[in-house]
């Protein structure tokens, strides 16, 4: 099965080259009316003298999943990390342009970075449970933000684990080491940890790339649930995954945003030849 046929299956429709009628009426529907949560304007990012992103502008909508796709090294992770100012932890990086979240440019002087990273949580590729109990992994963030009362922490831990679809699997061993969990469980634990501090946006950098197919399916189900409450931006190498989980897809190439469209539109009617070449597997 070709890559594009596999993607078409996930979308429940057909790519134009498959010579079946493409779906119409995608743009301009309710999608167009949802609120913009993150607006990126003319973003340039440099590692020392190397420019990793060039004049990237795009808007991500509230309670939608936006997927970032593109070949290795095209700038997806750099872009993702710019959304909660994580790049500045890497020495020698420089950012120009604006990332406006709920009307505030997060690069303005005076922005509280700790508060920003609470509001915009991130999940990385490799599940990174802390070497402590399951309970303490989830209670860690709320404790740092000043919550001490045990009953409140208990409630946060339970709610976050339930939201991350992990509660039933761990409720009888909350005080055993998180490192004994499987990779898929650890990844959901990390998501519970992110949820425990009440974020509004969740960034995910290839969250399923180290997971087996069953854990990946669970994670994708979880993403579908979480978007009812959170705005999600996900980097993925897997186009079928982008087709399955996202509402919008951005295609990056060599540090440039080549195309950004509703996911179905991008996969059925790519506007740019380079997007078409990438999604049909001609390179990447
Ligand atoms: N810390 C760094 N120092 C210098 N250059 C970097 C650094 N991190 C990334 N780069 C460079 O910036 C460019 C974009 O990297 P980035 O990791 O954002 O791409 P990516 O699309 O996420 O790649 P991948 O899919 O392989 O993770 C690459 O050329 C990379 O080599």
Q: pLDDT tens digits for 71-104?
A: 999 999 999 999 999 999 999 999 999 999 999 9
Q: Which atom of ligand 1 is nearest to the CA of 78?
A: 18
Edge to edge, the sheet with strand 65-69 lists 120-123, 201-205, 231-235, 65-69, 248-253, 256-262
Q: Which atom of ligand 1 is nearest to the CA of 50?
A: 5
Q: Which atom of ligand 1 is nearest to the CA of 255?
A: 14
Distance from Cα 90 to the centre of ligand 1, integer Å:
12
Question: Hey, how many other C-beta atoms are within 10 angstroms of the C-beta on 101?
Answer: 22
CB of 77 closer than 6 A to ligand 1? Answer: yes
Q: Which pLDDT value is given to residue 18?
A: 43
Q: Which pLDDT value is given to residue 102?
A: 96
CA distance 172 to 185: 14
Domain 3-279 is in which class? alpha beta
CB of 215 closer than 6 A to ligand 1? Answer: no
Q: Which pLDDT value is given to residue 28?
A: 35
CA distance 116 to 119: 5
Q: Which atom of ligand 1 is nearest to the CA of 92?
A: 3
Mutate which of 48, 72, 73, 258 to test ligand 1's pocket (most atoms within 8 Å of Cβ)?
73
Higher pLDDT, 27 or 167: 167
Q: What percent of the chain has pLDDT over 70?
A: 88
Cβ neighbours for 116, distance < 8 A, ≥ 6 positions apart: 84, 85, 101, 106
Phi-psi map region of 122: left, alpha, beta (phi>0 left; psi -120 to 50 alpha): beta
Q: Which pLDDT value is given to residue 281?
A: 87
Domain boundaries, the chain: 3-279
Task: Supply φ then ψ for residue 2, to 5 degrees.
Answer: -70, 160
Q: Has residue 223 got a pLDDT over 70? A: yes
Residues 149-158 have pLDDT tens digits of 999 999 999 9
CB of 50 closer than 6 A to ligand 1? Answer: yes
Worst-scoring range by mean pLDDT, 61-75, 207-221, 222-236?
A: 207-221
What is the CB-side half-sphere exposure of residue 55 using CA atoms within 13 A? Answer: 1
Q: Which pLDDT value is given to residue 253?
A: 97
Strands 93-101 and 104-105: what pairing? antiparallel
CA distance 149 to 221: 32
Q: Identify the three-state secondary structure at position 194.
A: helix
CB of 49 closer than 6 A to ligand 1? Answer: no
Which residue's CA is the closest to the ligand 1 atom numbered 25? Answer: 72
Do 45 and 252 touch, CB atoms closer than 8 A?
no
| pLDDT tier at 12, thresholds 50, 70, 90 | low
CB of 214 closer than 6 A to ligand 1? Answer: no
Q: Which pLDDT value is given to residue 127?
A: 81
CB of 72 closer than 6 A to ligand 1? Answer: yes
CA angle 98, 115, 104 (to 5 degrees): 30
What is the CB-side half-sphere exposure of residue 133 using CA atoms within 13 A? Answer: 11
CA distance 212 to 215: 5
Q: What is the pTM of this model?
A: 0.89
Q: Which pLDDT value is given to residue 100?
A: 98
For the chain, what is the mean pLDDT?
90
CA distance 54 to 10: 31
Distance from Cα 78 to the centre of ligand 1, integer Å:
6
ipTM of the complex: 0.97
Give which of 223, 202, 200, 225 is closest to 211, Cα–Cα. Answer: 223
CB of 88 closer than 6 A to ligand 1? Answer: no
Q: Which pLDDT value is given to residue 1?
A: 55
Give me the helix-helix angle, 183-195 and 213-226, nearest 10°. Answer: 20
């Amino acid at each position: 099965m070709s890559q594009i046929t596999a993607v078409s299956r996930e979308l429940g429709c057909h790519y134009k080259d498959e010579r079946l009628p493409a779906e119409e009426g995608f743009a301009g529907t309710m999608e167009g009316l949802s609120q913009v949560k993150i607006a990126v304007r003319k973003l340039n990012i440099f590692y020392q003298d190397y420019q990793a992103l060039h004049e990237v502008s795009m808007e991500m909508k509230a309670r939608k999943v936006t997927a970032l796709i593109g070949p290795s090294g095209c700038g997806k992770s750099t872009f993702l990390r710019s959304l909660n100012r994580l790049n500045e932890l890497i020495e020698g990086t420089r950012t120009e342009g604006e990332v406006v979240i709920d009307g505030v440019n997060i690069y303005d002087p005076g922005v509280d970075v700790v508060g920003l990273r609470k509001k915009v949580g991130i999940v990385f590729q490799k599940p990174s449970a802390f070497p402590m109990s399951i309970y303490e992994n989830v209670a860690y963030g709320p404790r740092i933000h000043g919550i001490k009362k045990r009953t409140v922490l208990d409630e946060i831990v339970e709610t976050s684990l339930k939201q991350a679809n992990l509660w039933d699997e761990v409720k009888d061993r909350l005080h055993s080491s998180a490192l004994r969990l499987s990779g898929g469980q650890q990844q959901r634990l990390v998501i519970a940890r992110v949820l425990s501090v009440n974020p509004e946006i969740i960034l995910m950098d290839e969250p399923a790339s180290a997971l087996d197919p069953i854990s990946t399916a669970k994670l994708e189900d979880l993403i579908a649930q979480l978007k009812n409450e959170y705005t999600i931006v996900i980097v993925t190498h897997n186009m079928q995954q982008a087709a399955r989980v996202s509402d919008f897809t951005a295609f990056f190439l060599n540090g440039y945003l080549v195309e950004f469209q509703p996911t179905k539109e991008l996969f059925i009617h790519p506007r740019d030849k380079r997007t078409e070449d990438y999604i049909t597997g001609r390179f990447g």
